[in-house]
Structure 1
Amino acid sequence: MTFDAQGSLFGDGGMAAPARTSAPDPQAIRGRLGRLLETLRKSESMPLSDKDMRMWQTVIPNMTRWLPDDEADAIRSEFAYEMDRLGASV
């Protein structure tokens, strides 16, 4: 038998990540993405910093997973169009 004088920093290993209790609200997703797209539509030049632009390029595909496929495709397509129009690479 071995004895670990320090003990485990992570407990006995029986810990699990908390389970998600609810799915994201599609209305909240629509609102947030709608506001972003509206900002992009109204802009003559890129309104996002490089950091924010890269973040949204990652977040949009993930957020739209919670929407119906046709709606998600339309949002991703419009985002790509606006990024192209404003001179950003997607």
Structure 2
Amino acid sequence: MPQNDLFGSSQLGLGLEDTRPDPTHVDPASVREELAAILATARAARDEAPWDRRTHRYHQVVFPQMADWLPADEADAMRRQFSVELERIESLLAA
């Protein structure tokens, strides 16, 4: 008969178990959806930047990192497409 852990997360039913999502498992479909939405926002911007300079820098760093969760060829294609949009938005921010 297994011995119960006296200090375990479920001891006495306190509900202290870790309910956070597993950071080692990322759903590529949700990443793809989020990246596609960011890319669509960037593409839709014509007369003015869709975000401020700080958000621009954030997307510049985070978008490529998020793409790492996708298959390599898809990730590369999304990075290239987003890079083109970032350059275009950079000129809108400078205006």
Q: Give me the TM-score of the superposition, normalised by structure 1.
A: 0.69
Q: Detail structure 1 runs of 4+ shifted over 2 Å in the superposition.
A: none
Aligned Cα root-mean-square deviation (Å):
1.9
Gaps of at least 5 residues in structure 2 are: 1-21
Determine which structure has the larger helix proportion and give its number. Answer: 2
Matched, 1:41 2:43: yes
In the alignment, the residues of structure 2 paired with residue 57 and residue 33 of structure 1 have an alpha-carbon distance, to the nearest angstrom, of 12
- Kindly state the Cα deviation for residue 21 of structure 1 after the two structures are TM-superposed: 5.6
1:85 aligned residue:
88
In the alignment, the residues of structure 2 paired with residue 48 and residue 55 of structure 1 have an alpha-carbon distance, to the nearest angstrom, of 10
* Of 45, 60, 64, the match for 1:61: 64
2:15 aligned residue:
none
Gaps of at least 5 residues in structure 1 are: 1-19
Determine if contact 2:60/2:86 at 8 Å carries over to the other structure. Answer: no
